[in-house]
């Protein structure tokens, strides 16, 4: 039944509504959060299976035909991203009770959390440009609430910056949608794609495409527009940082992926060539940021930027290996960034500081924590058996096929430096004498570790069982490279 | 300190608030065929309650209208989502709507649409949001 499509949006929304009523009782809130997360995860899992088995599901809301109403399109890409989102949200839901949020949990932490998931799922599923804007706002409003929740001085300062930059980019988004509507006369993505094809993407449409790219690049933190990200992502609680780092920028890069494989695909020598350079610059500047600091949270936050660069590289080269590499890397990065943010949250909690220069010798007290960090560093950098490797391999292969040798070299060097930046945490924080930090009182961290272990297991499985997942990813890439299939499935049913 | 006697303000405020509330309900119900709807109806209601608050004071109004405005927001959202989910029961796509003609004793034949229930959800949410914002800023100085 086509109403399946709406469930990943509706279930978190109902959860948020119900949880507003139970804000006073932390115990009920926690239990309900876990329950709803698991229901949502199970639904997303079923939908993904259904879509990969039977093909795209289209929901015409309110029973209005495709270009007139809002269509929700659950294709393979949307389905696996919704599933990944739900995996992450479930992990965060199980981490949050131990994350030291007691006071904030009473002040509507969980409703904000679920509204964020609503917005993210909606943005992945929608097939309408203005509806995409609305879901962007839903997730941004929730993120404003989450970033300032608690009311610390730093939070206040960083949330102001975050709010201003996002308000500006939202305004630009509305303006761009207005321009596009004035030119093609529709906001339905399939119909826009059809009409852009008819006029062979004349100059004005390419201009609008580049404007739209800047909107999404601000949300996704690409090269010239990333300066707001690192600081504002580390001020809230680790669980909120993890949600932001895993979901918000990825929605931006997903929008770029969707729009530039569906709508603006007829002047690739202009736009997509630019993407490759922006991808390279994002990698370089992001990794310089990650190397420049000794704050462990900031290292992970800066690592988001080269990852987004890698994903954009695949969109830039626009061939089958490139796109499937982008998708693989996108999923891998969403999971591993959550795991890393949660891990550094635990490290900062047990060490009592997030400054690398003040810690050392933690391996004597928390061996499992140390080895988990080491494992996730290996996954992030893309060492062979793990999932980061396959994504990067496909991406670099795609770039190589297009003859972009410079970017391949930049990508390889960046990977090396990513590995260095995370292993630096391991070397400085975990190696060394037992006495470096004085005597540590061992804190219980089992509750915090469980979600991280689950995420890392999934991540490792993604890499080791690549044979299993790769065919579906490849078919999604083939599907994305042929916009006709999308247009036909939405408009001609 | 010398306490002002705002007799004229209070007398006119209750009269104006009464008219405003009536107009708000009119706007809410008229939304289908003429300008109006849940959003502007909700704003107008919030305006009326705000006027009462300004002329009588927050404590007095809380006694007369013991409403938890924060809870009004999820209630409105629940109604709006509920109308969307309601279409699941009839095997229709999400947010489908329908209408019918009903005969009432005094008013005669009236068209009733399920979009009205959605509007009611919007109305409650808007009232809740507006009053939450106003009251939390107003109570800040305490």
Count of residues in chain B: 142
pLDDT in tens, B18-65: 999 999 999 998 888 889 889 999 999 999 999 999 888 888 888 888
Q: Characterise A2 by phi-psi region: left (phi > 0), alpha (psi -120 to 50), beta (else).
A: alpha
pLDDT score of A266 more than 90? no
Q: Which residues of A touch B (CB under 8 A)?
A: 1-3, 6, 10, 13-14, 17-18, 20-21, 59-63, 111
Residue of chain A nearest B77, judged by CA positions: A17
pLDDT at A493 (0 to 100): 58
Residue B92 has its nearest CB partner, among A10, A63, A111, at A63
Residue B42 lies in a domain: yes
**Environment class of B30 (CB within 10 Å of its CB; exposed 0-12, middle 13-18, buried 19+):** middle
pLDDT at B140 (0 to 100): 67
CA distance B96 to chain A (A): 4
Residue A3 has its nearest CB partner, among B70, B94, B97, at B94
Taking an 8 Å cut-off on Cβ atoms, the answer to whether B94 and A18 are in contact is no
d(CA A67, CA A190): 8
Residue B97 has its nearest CB partner, among A3, A10, A62, at A62
CA distance A6 to chain B (A): 7
**Residue A401: how many CB atoms within 10 A of its CB?**
13
Q: Which residues on chain A are in Cβ contact (under 8 Å) with B88? A: 3
**Residue A151: how many CB atoms within 10 A of its CB?**
10
CA distance B45 to chain A (A): 23
Taking an 8 Å cut-off on Cβ atoms, the answer to whether A21 and B71 are in contact is yes
pLDDT at A2 (0 to 100): 78
3-class DSSP state of B104: strand
A contact test, residue of B75, B88, B93 with most A CBs within 10 A: B93
pLDDT in tens, A336-366: 999 999 999 998 888 888 888 888 888 888 8
Taking an 8 Å cut-off on Cβ atoms, the answer to whether A59 and B97 are in contact is no
pLDDT at A19 (0 to 100): 92
A contact test, residue of B76, B91, B94 with most A CBs within 10 A: B94
d(CA A91, CA A89): 5
Taking an 8 Å cut-off on Cβ atoms, the answer to whether B71 and A18 are in contact is no
CA distance B117 to chain A (A): 15
B84 touches chain A (CB under 8 A): yes
**Helix (H), strand (E), coil (C) string for A104-168:** HHHCCHHHHHHHHHHHHHHHHHECEHHHHHHHHHHHHHHHHHHHHCCCCHHHHHHHHHHHHHHHH
B99 touches chain A (CB under 8 A): no
B contact test, residue of A5, A21, A62, A115 with most B CBs within 10 A: A62
ipTM for the predicted complex: 0.90
pLDDT at A453 (0 to 100): 93
Pick from A209, A179, A222: nearest CA to A271: A209
CA distance B53 to chain A (A): 25
pLDDT in tens, A81-140: 999 999 999 999 999 888 877 778 888 899 999 999 999 999 999 999 999 999 999 999
Domain boundaries, chain A: 267-482
Residue B70 lies in a domain: yes
pLDDT at B99 (0 to 100): 83
pLDDT score of A1 more than 60? no
Q: Which residues on chain B are in Cβ contact (under 8 Å) with A111? A: 74
Taking an 8 Å cut-off on Cβ atoms, the answer to whether B74 and A6 are in contact is no
d(CA A273, CA A404): 10
pLDDT at A339 (0 to 100): 93
B115 touches chain A (CB under 8 A): no
Give the largest Cα separation in chain A, rounded. Answer: 71
pLDDT at A226 (0 to 100): 87
pLDDT score of A478 more than 70? yes
pLDDT in tens, A385-396: 888 888 899 999
B132 touches chain A (CB under 8 A): no
d(CA A431, CA A446): 21
What's the total number of domains in chain B? Answer: 1
In the structure, what pLDDT confidence band is assigned to residue A448 with cuts at 50, 70 and 90?
confident
Range of the domain at B36: 6-139
Mean pLDDT for A2-12 is 90
In the structure, what pLDDT confidence band is assigned to residue A439 with cuts at 50, 70 and 90?
low
Give the tokens for residue A381: 């950098």
Residue B74 has its nearest CB partner, among A1, A10, A20, at A20
In the structure, what pLDDT confidence band is assigned to residue B1 with cuts at 50, 70 and 90?
low
Taking an 8 Å cut-off on Cβ atoms, the answer to whether A17 and B70 are in contact is no
CA distance B26 to chain A (A): 26
Q: Which residues on chain A are in Cβ contact (under 8 Å) with B81? A: 10, 13-14, 17
B18 touches chain A (CB under 8 A): no
The rounded percent of chain A whose pLDDT value lies above 90 is 53
Q: Are strands B108-113 and B99-104 parallel, antiparallel or unpaired?
A: antiparallel
Taking an 8 Å cut-off on Cβ atoms, the answer to whether A63 and B96 are in contact is yes
Average pLDDT, chain A: 89
Q: Which residues on chain B are in Cβ contact (under 8 Å) with A32? A: none
Residue B93 has its nearest CB partner, among A13, A21, A62, at A62
3-class DSSP state of A404: coil
Q: Which residue has the higher pLDDT, A360 or A52?
A: A52
Count of residues in chain A: 493
Residue A102 C-alpha from the chain's centroid? 27
pLDDT at B77 (0 to 100): 94
CA distance B86 to chain A (A): 12
DSSP assignment of A179-202 equals HHHHHHS--BHHHHHHHHHHTT--
DSSP assignment of A452-493 equals HHHHHHHHHHHHHTHHHHHHHHHHHHHHHH-HHHHHHHHH--
DSSP assignment of B43-93 equals HHHHHHHHHHHHHH-HHHHHHH----HHHHHHHHHHHHHHHHHHHHHTT--
B70 touches chain A (CB under 8 A): yes
B88 touches chain A (CB under 8 A): yes
Q: Which residues on chain B are in Cβ contact (under 8 Å) with A3? A: 88, 93-94
Residue B28 lies in a domain: yes
pLDDT at B103 (0 to 100): 82
Q: Which residues on chain B are in Cβ contact (under 8 Å) with A1? A: 91
DSSP summary character for residue A101: -
Judge contact between A480 and A117, C-beta under 8 A: no
d(CA A447, CA A97): 9
pLDDT in tens, B92-122: 888 888 888 888 888 778 888 888 899 999 9
Taking an 8 Å cut-off on Cβ atoms, the answer to whether B81 and A10 are in contact is yes
Give the largest Cα separation in chain B, rounded. Answer: 67
Q: Which residues on chain B are in Cβ contact (under 8 Å) with A115? A: none
- List Cα–Cα distances, B114 to A342, B35, B71, in angstroms: 45, 18, 23
**Environment class of B70 (CB within 10 Å of its CB; exposed 0-12, middle 13-18, buried 19+):** middle
Residue of chain B nearest A1, judged by CA positions: B91
Q: Which of A194-198, A352-356, B73-77 has the lowest mean pLDDT?
A: A352-356
pLDDT at B6 (0 to 100): 85
d(CA B68, CA B64): 12
Residue B10 lies in a domain: yes
pLDDT in tens, A144-155: 999 998 888 888
């Amino acid at each position: 039944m086509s109403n399946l499509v709406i469930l990943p949006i509706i279930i978190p929304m109902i959860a948020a509504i119900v949880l507003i009523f139970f804000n006073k009782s932390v115990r009920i809130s926690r239990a309900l959060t876990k329950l709803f997360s698991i229901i949502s995860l199970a639904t997303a899992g079923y939908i993904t299976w259904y879509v990969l088995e039977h093909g795209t599901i289209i929901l015409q809301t309110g029973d209005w035909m495709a270009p007139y109403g809002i269509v929700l399109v659950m294709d393979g890409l949307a389905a696996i991203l919704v599933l990944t989102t739900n995996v992450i949200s479930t992990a965060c839901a199980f981490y949050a009770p131990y994350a030291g949020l007691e006071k904030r949990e009473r002040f509507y932490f969980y409703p904000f959390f679920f509204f964020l998931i609503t917005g993210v799922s909606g943005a992945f599923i929608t097939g309408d440009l203005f509806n995409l804007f609305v879901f962007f706002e839903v997730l941004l409003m929730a993120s404003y609430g989450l970033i300032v929740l608690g009311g610390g001085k730093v939070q206040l300062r960083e949330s102001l910056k975050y709010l201003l930059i996002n308000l500006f980019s939202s305004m630009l988004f509305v303006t761009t949608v207005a321009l596009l509507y004035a030119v093609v006369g529709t906001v339905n993505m399939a119909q826009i794609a059809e009409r852009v094809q008819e006029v062979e993407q004349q100059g004005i449409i390419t201009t609008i495409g580049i404007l739209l790219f800047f909107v999404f690049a601000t949300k996704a933190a690409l090269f010239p527009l990333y300066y707001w990200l690192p600081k504002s992502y580390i001020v809230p609680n680790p669980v909120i940082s993890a949600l932001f780092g895993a979901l918000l920028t990825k929605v931006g890069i997903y929008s770029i992926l969707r729009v530039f494989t569906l709508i603006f695909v007829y002047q690739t020598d202009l736009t997509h060539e630019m993407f490759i350079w922006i991808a390279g610059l994002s990698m370089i500047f992001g990794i310089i940021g990650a190397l420049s600091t000794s704050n462990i949270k900031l290292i992970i936050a800066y690592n988001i930027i080269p990852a987004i660069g890698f994903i954009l590289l695949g969109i830039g080269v626009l061939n089958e290996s490139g796109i499937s590499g982008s998708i693989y890397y996108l999923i891998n990065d969403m999971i591993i960034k959550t795991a890393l943010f949660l891990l550094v949250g635990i490290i900062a909690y047990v060490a009592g500081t997030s400054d690398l220069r003040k810690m050392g010798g933690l391996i004597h007290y928390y061996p499992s924590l140390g080895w988990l960090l080491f494992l996730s560093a290996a996954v992030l950098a893309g060492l062979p058996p793990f999932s980061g490797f396959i994504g990067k391999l496909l991406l670099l292969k795609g770039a190589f096929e297009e003859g972009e040798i410079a970017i391949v070299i930049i990508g390889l060097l960046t990977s090396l430096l990513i590995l260095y930046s995370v292993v630096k945490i391991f070397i400085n924080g975990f190696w060394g004498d037992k006495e470096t930090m004085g005597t540590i009182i061992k804190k219980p961290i089992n509750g915090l570790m469980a979600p991280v272990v689950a995420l890392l297991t999934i991540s490792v499985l993604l890499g080791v069982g690549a044979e299993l997942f790769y065919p579906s990813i490849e078919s999604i890439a083939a599907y994305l490279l042929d916009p006709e299939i999308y247009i036909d499935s939405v408009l001609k049913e | 300190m010398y306490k002002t006697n705002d007799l004229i303000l209070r007398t006119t405020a209750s009269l104006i608030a009464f008219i405003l509330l009536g107009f708000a309900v009119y706007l809410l119900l008229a939304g289908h065929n003429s300008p109006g709807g849940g959003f502007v109806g909700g704003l107008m209601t919030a305006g009326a309650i705000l006027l009462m608050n300004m002329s009588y004071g927050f404590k007095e109004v809380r006694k007369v209208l013991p409403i938890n405005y924060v809870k009004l927001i999820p209630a409105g959202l629940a109604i709006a989502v509920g109308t969307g989910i309601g279409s699941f029961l009839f095997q229709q796509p999400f947010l489908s709507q329908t209408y019918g003609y009903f005969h009432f004793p005094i008013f005669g034949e009236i068209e009733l649409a399920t979009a009205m229930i959605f509007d009611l959800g919007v109305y409650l949410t808007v009232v809740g949001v507006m009053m939450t914002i106003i009251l939390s800023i107003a109570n800040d100085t305490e």
